[in-house]
Amino acid sequence: GAVVSQHPSRVICKSGTSVKIECRSLDFQATTMFWYRQFPKQSLMLMATSNEGSKATYEQGVEKDKFLINHASLTLSTLTVTSAHPEDSSFYICSASWTGDQPQHFGDGTRLSIL
Amino acid sequence: DAKTTQPPSMDCAEGRAANLPCNHSTISGNEYVYWYRQIHSQGPQYIIHGLKNNETNEMASLIITEDRKSSTLILPHATLRDTAVYYCIVRVSGRDDKIIFGKGTRLHILP
């Protein structure tokens, strides 16, 4: 089945650091990928829609200059958390769909901890 | 906002069938019902989806009422590994259509 891979699975870094998270579709092409954030004991919150070759579409309240999304190829989208602070600590998850008729598949997530 | 309503939590004995309900009274004619689950510290896992007919796969069965305003996910023989948060989602079947998650149902499988 379709597989979505995220890297890294866990990252711990100091406040002020910028962190890049990769989301790859391993055996299919994805013109659209999605980025979510999940805080402890809460549901997933959609952050943005990543569109290959164009600008991402951000949900209301998500700072586009804080969370930079690049979707330069049909198999890779990246999320960069710029100048990360402790309040950015969260579980970040991406998803992609194989074709229009197939369900979205999710990566295993990246746990970001900012000290 | 999520278009579905689910009970916050449920318990089920190991080996028994787990029946998870979902209300989606405002579902549109072209929207499908999807079910995902999230095991602790992992990404959501797709389970099953349907439009109006009942569906079955190796993981579960999906029963959709005739008026499509509610559905039930059935795990026929629950195991401890089925302990997870289950999300019922309605959306148009298309890869560009985003998923909005509700709070889901936390299913506890009891030994």
Residue B39 · residue B96 · CB < 8 Å: no
Sign of CA dihedral A77, A82, A86, A88: negative
| pLDDT at A53 (0 to 100) | 82
Best mutation target, A35, A104, A105, A112, to test chain B (most B CBs within 10 A): A104
Shortest distance between the Cα of B77 and any Cα of chain A, in A, equals: 24
Chain B: residue whose CA lies nearest to A35: B98
The pLDDT of residue B2 is: 61
Closest among B87, B94, B52 to B69, alpha carbons compared = B52
Q: Which of A70, A60, A83 is nearest to A22 (CA)?
A: A70
Chain-chain contact of A44 with B44 (C-beta, under 8 angstroms): yes
pLDDT per residue as tens digits for the range B64-95: 999 999 999 999 999 999 999 999 999 876 65
pLDDT score at A2? 60
Q: How many residue pairs bridge chain A and chain B with CB atoms within 8 Å of each other? A: 60
Q: Which member of A32, A43, A93 has the closest CB to residue B96?
A: A32
A107 with A23: CB under 8 angstroms?
yes
Q: Please enumerate residues of A whose Cβ is less than 8 A from a Cβ of B.
A: 4, 6, 30-32, 34, 36, 43-46, 49, 91, 93, 95-109, 111
Structure confidence at residue B99 as a pLDDT band (50, 70, 90): confident
pLDDT tens digits along B16-51: 999 999 999 999 888 899 999 999 889 999 999 999
Are A111 and B49 an interchain contact pair (Cβ–Cβ within 8 Å)? no
- Which mean pLDDT values do the consecutive 10-residue runs of chain A (115 residues) have? 87 96 91 92 93 89 94 91 96 84 87 96
- Do A103 and B34 lie within an 8 Å CB cutoff? yes
| Contact call for residues A78 and A20 (beta carbons, < 8 A) | yes
pLDDT recorded at residue A31: 80
DSSP state of A38: E
Distances (CA, A) of A61 to A47, A64, A83, A89: 9, 9, 18, 17
In Å, how far is A53's CA from the nearest CA of chain B? 14
Phi then psi for A10, rounded to 5 degrees?
-150, 140
**A43/B102 CB distance under 8 A:** yes
Distances (CA, A) of B42 to A91, B33, B38, B84: 9, 22, 6, 10
Q: Among B41, B44, B102, select the one facing A106 at the smallest CB separation.
A: B44
Contacts of A90 (CB under 8 A, 6+ apart): A37, A38, A39, A112
Q: Give how far B47 is from chain A: nearest CA, Å.
A: 9
Instruction: Supply the pLDDT for residue B92.
Output: 77
Smallest Cβ–Cβ distance between A105 and the set B46, B96, B100 belongs to: B46
